[in-house]
Amino acid sequence: MTGLGIMSRTAILFAALAMWALFITPSEADQNDPRLDRLFTELKLAADQASADDIASEIWALWRETDNPVAAQSLADGIEAIRTRQYRSAYRHFSKVIEQAPAFAEGWNARATVLYLMGAYRESIDDIRETLQREPRHFGALSGLGLIFLQQKQFGPAAAAFRDALLINPHLPRIHAAIDELESRQRSIDEKNAI
């Protein structure tokens, strides 16, 4: 009985120390969060679409975290501006995020998104490259790159970007559909050329 009491107190002490460490250790928010490695593993192994969507949502939430309060507010303001289709305003907010936290991948990805929506594809590709330098597993940025190539009728590069996104997140139904369409289009072209 005495040994059990000591073990219980030791367990409580370790639990208290672990909790304390959470509060004094600076969190690694953003693409450097150590929880992402586990989530990406779980994402690849997800049994169904609903589970994969939940895991992907957790990944997106971590990607959007930043310890810089000015960047965090600018990111939120930019997201709201996109929601209301105020793209120039969103661009300014996301540029401020990048200015405040240049190592923050999601700032670059958010600005790449609004540039895509504005039809500024070359600039969007540049920001996607910045995103991928900071977070090579950013399946959202890779999907966006594929969409840009698709808009530009660069079907080979579009398919390559989509396949890269699927290597990271195999649970992207729209990307699977886009690849199917590209492959169908390529088969049609090959058949015409064979005649």
- CATH code of the domain in which 158 resides: 1.25.40
Residue 85 has pLDDT above 70, yes or no: yes
Of 86-90, 91-95, 177-181, the range with the lowest mean pLDDT is: 177-181
Residue 194 belongs to a domain: yes
**Two structure tokens written together for 103:** 């190592």
Domain of 178? 137-195
Provide the domain count of the chain.
Answer: 1
Residues 28-84 pLDDT 10s: 557 888 899 999 999 999 999 999 999 999 999 999 999 999 999 999 999 999 999
Residue 32 belongs to a domain: no
Residue 165 belongs to a domain: yes
How far apart, in whole angstroms, are the C-alpha atoms of residue 102 and residue 32? 14
Residue 50 belongs to a domain: no
Contact 67, 26 (CB under 8 A): yes
Residue 166 has pLDDT above 70, yes or no: yes
Residue 94 belongs to a domain: no
Residue 24 belongs to a domain: no
Q: Which pTM does this prediction carry? A: 0.81
Contact 115, 123 (CB under 8 A): yes
**Two structure tokens written together for 137:** 């597993």
